[in-house]
Structure 1
Amino acid sequence: MSKSFAPIAALFVSIALVLTGYGLLTILTPVAADRLGLSDILVGFLGTAYFGGLTLGCFLVPIVIARVGHIRAFTAFTALATVTPLLQGVVLSGEVWIVLRIVTGFCYAGISMVIESWLNERADNSNRGFILSTYTGLNLLVAVIGQQMLGLGDPAGPELFILVAIFVTISAIPVALTRSPAPDIPATTTLQLRRLIQNSPVAAGAVFGTGLANGAFWSLAPLYPQSLGMSETNVASFVSAAVIGGAVALWPLGWLSDRRDRRLVIAGICIGAAIASLGLTTLSALPFVALAAIAFLYGATALPAYSLSIAHANDHADPGMSVSLSGSLLLLWGVGATIGPTVAAFAMELGGSATLLFAFTGIAFALLAAFTIYRMTVRPAPTEAQKETFVYVPRTSPAVFQLDPRGEDGGEDEAAWGEPPPMPDLAQLGDEAQASGEPPVSPAAPPASGSDDPTGRPGS
């Protein structure tokens, strides 16, 4: 295993540095905006801008990679991602920050896609699970480390933004010096949204609903302890408690969902997230430790819903379609995460309280639980033979789904792809993609055989 890990160690170092910086920037942006007197609505727009840029990047970045290759693309994305936090630290304008957050989201999608494509190139059936689990653990660990750096400086000053830029800048060094060969140019394909909704309305509704709620959480949650007069250290600890809760609950919930109707588990965690949201809305006078414990419960119930939804969609997918469906689910989550921050911010502004953020998330999860329970009365649970094993997949870029061991078996994807075609002319490929006028989509999603389900199976 050490021999297979050595060629990609530099890639893990690079992404760890990027994610540490972005973990800090994610919590720093709303806290700094609040300290500078920006309205809740404007802070919501900042969250919408970031997730909008991230979603666009997931499906536009392949054109950039096709034109210039992985190493040049990574260098360009890291250079641009270094400039944006520096400008946030010196240009104290909410309108300018909105543009910068769009660029930041786009760059993060590009950096993630380059790294994940590279990891997939080095993965095979013997190490794919190890690489994905290592990458997953790294995502969760360094995000918490980055968040805890909030207390190292004044959020209203430029120092912490400079620290973010330093982490992103030095992340380019391991990739520039790696001896691991760059991967092939990714292929493109069409997403199967209609097919996904027909196969699994619960999965489609769950990822969109959790995108609404959790997009609002990531964008606005720091304002909740900030409005209660807590220190920057407690603000970071409050958000980190939710991240740790999600990490701790992921695998037990996945194990349980492999042995029960996954929709029952999804409905249960949505009810739990709604209860935690109600607690944070109505019990804000509790001591910090109690609020952090409720935040832990929120993370343990709200954050695993995305991966459980992917597993549920795979239970009803045709063989070999897991990668394509997962890319469609990521798009739905991104759309929800783009909408959620602005809607929640309007509720907070109109109600005059940051606690209304969790009123919004509570309503979203309660509706999602009701819809899931209703669907359980419409269609029976899949048999044990139909169910796939739960695998946690980070919400980064479509390229990460190629690392999912559930996509290893042949079936429709391999029949459609066959042997890799000869390398195209990169400049011509990029020009054709722009001239065609067709929206570029996930590089990780292989072509589907059609838009209608040939099995004739109803949605879940």
Structure 2
Amino acid sequence: MQQTTTCHQSNGMFVPVAGLTVFAIASGYLMSLIPLSLANFNIDSSYASWLASIYYIGLLIGSLMIEPIIAKIGHRIAFISFLTLLAATVAVLPFFPHKELWLFARLVAGMAVAGIFVVVESWLLIGDSAKERAKRLGFYMTSLYGGTTIGQLAVGYFGVQGFVPFVVILALLFIAILPPLFIKQGQPDSHGHQVLSLKQITRLSKPAIIGCITSGVVMGSIYGLMPLALKASSLSTNQVGVLMAAIILGGMVIQPIISKLSIVMSKTLLLALMSLLGVFAMGLTYLSTDYVVLISALALLGMSAFALYPIAITLACDNLDSSYIVAATQVMLFSYSIGSALGPIGANSFMSEQNGLMDFFFIVLLATAIYMLIASLQRKPQVLAS
């Protein structure tokens, strides 16, 4: 495999970022809506963790199927198709309030979202230098988390009762379809993609893969269980919305910083530092139960959790030829999905304890920080041979 990062193709950013931002608003609202609306549809709240996990299982399955679809129909049509599929899974939820159908719908939704992520990430990462890739991915993550923050605030504005929240989410998803539907220029060349062999996958950066898994564990647990954990602490629905928004806002604020730091320092060491930031954030929750302190702690947790994935994926794509970017983003999303599927199940065993979810994050992030610190001292160049 050639280890080249030079490509003269200039890919448009407006279509993927505009579509993704509106999608993120809908997704942020939906992620909090599902666990909080279970009681309204007479579904036991104990299914919240299973709904979160099966969504990430769908993400995992989808991450294995995306590359040939993009190669066949191109980034733009694939983007439209996956957004439409996601909208269909949202539409059925309020009309069929049965746990079995909700589980199936969330499985399919995970597969659709996997497609959205791989399309947008590879769209932005194909071509350009490693420095430009970091900048583009930082901009992408800022748009993603900014949109998700607004979506979290919609919980307080539109509520979680009845059909209205689902109508709002569907409207947003159809708006997200408009940029790729009407703007046909700027998508990358869909030809020339190459698949990574198993041997080449094993030679991808191990810290990058671990970073994606940890990000999935933490993010899956945040989205799947954090609203319930906060609600169990006698917080109001509005306060839960604000705290969830604080997590996402923290993730958005850190993006420009990590995109600059990833250029000037070891990405493996940066993964260690971001993990330690999350450990510090959880430590704050042990020191005080004050609402303002909790907002600050969860914002720091958001900085930690949301920084891991973009650092890890740019680390994985370092020294890769552009033709392998789609395949590499699939591998990283697959790793993220494994963590996302296992995270809520593992975290659920801590939920019966006071501050249990925070304990779970403390343990996971501390273990990751220790691994990354050791790996940064033993780092070897990434070599991929065909």
The match for 1:19 is 24
Q: How does 1:169-208 map to 2 (within 5 A)?
A: 169-180=174-185, 184-191=189-196, 195=200, 198=203, 200-208=205-213
Q: Give the direction of change, closer, same or farther, for the CA distance of 1:234–1:37 in structure 2 (3 Å limit).
A: farther
Higher share of residues assigned helix:
2
1:334 maps to amino acid: S
Q: How does 1:312-327 map to 2 (within 5 A)?
A: 312-313=315-316, 323=325, 325-327=328-330
Aligned-pair CA distance for 1:223: 1.4
The match for 1:368 is 368
Q: How does 1:408-447 map to 2 (within 5 A)?
A: none
Q: Pick the aligned partner of 1:157 from 162, 166, 178.
A: 162
Deviations 1:123-181 (A, max 9, x none): 76798777655434322221111111111233132210111011112333333322527
Aligned-pair CA distance for 1:352: 5.4
Deviations 1:364-412 (A, max 9, x none): 11211222334455x2x57xxx79xxxxxxxxxxxxxxxxxxxxxxxx9
Unaligned runs of 5+ in 1: 388-411, 413-447, 451-460
Contact 1:210 1:365 in 2 (8 A): no
Aligned-pair CA distance for 1:341: 1.4
Q: How does 1:385-404 map to 2 (within 5 A)?
A: none
Aligned-pair CA distance for 1:256: 4.4
Q: How large is the Cα RMSD of the aligned pairs?
A: 3.7
Q: Give the direction of change, closer, same or farther, for the CA distance of 1:138–1:300 in structure 2 (3 Å limit).
A: closer
Query: In 1, Cα distance between the equivalents of 2:190 and 2:323?
Result: 21
Contact 1:26 1:219 in 2 (8 A): yes
> Aligned pairs, how many?
376
Query: In 2, Cα distance between the equivalents of 1:136 and 1:62?
Result: 21
Query: In 2, Cα distance between the equivalents of 1:309 and 1:41?
Result: 32
Larger radius of gyration: 1
Q: Which moved more, 1:235-244 or 1:135-144?
A: 135-144
Unaligned runs of 5+ in 2: 1-8
Q: How does 1:120-269 map to 2 (within 5 A)?
A: 132=137, 134-180=139-185, 184-191=189-196, 195=200, 198=203, 200-256=205-261, 258-269=263-274
Query: In 2, Cα distance between the equivalents of 1:262 and 1:12?
Result: 24
Contact 2:43 2:97 in 1 (8 A): no
Q: Give the direction of change, closer, same or farther, for the CA distance of 1:319–1:87 in structure 2 (3 Å limit).
A: closer
Query: In 2, Cα distance between the equivalents of 1:158 and 1:114?
Result: 30
Q: Give the direction of change, closer, same or farther, for the CA distance of 1:40–1:327 in structure 2 (3 Å limit).
A: same
Query: In 2, Cα distance between the equivalents of 1:14 and 1:28?
Result: 21
Q: Which moved more, 1:156-165 or 1:228-237?
A: 228-237
Percent identical among aligned pairs is 23
The match for 2:298 is 295
TM-score by length of 2: 0.81
The match for 2:100 is 95
Query: In 1, Cα distance between the equivalents of 2:134 and 2:370?
Result: 34
Q: Which moved more, 1:211-220 or 1:190-199?
A: 190-199
Contact 2:11 2:124 in 1 (8 A): no
Q: Pick the aligned partner of 1:104 from 104, 109, 130.
A: 109
Contact 1:192 1:325 in 2 (8 A): no
TM-score by length of 1: 0.69
Contact 1:264 1:373 in 2 (8 A): yes
The match for 2:275 is 270
Q: Give the direction of change, closer, same or farther, for the CA distance of 1:71–1:319 in structure 2 (3 Å limit).
A: closer
The match for 1:58 is 63
Q: Give the direction of change, closer, same or farther, for the CA distance of 1:7–1:335 in structure 2 (3 Å limit).
A: closer
Contact 2:12 2:187 in 1 (8 A): no
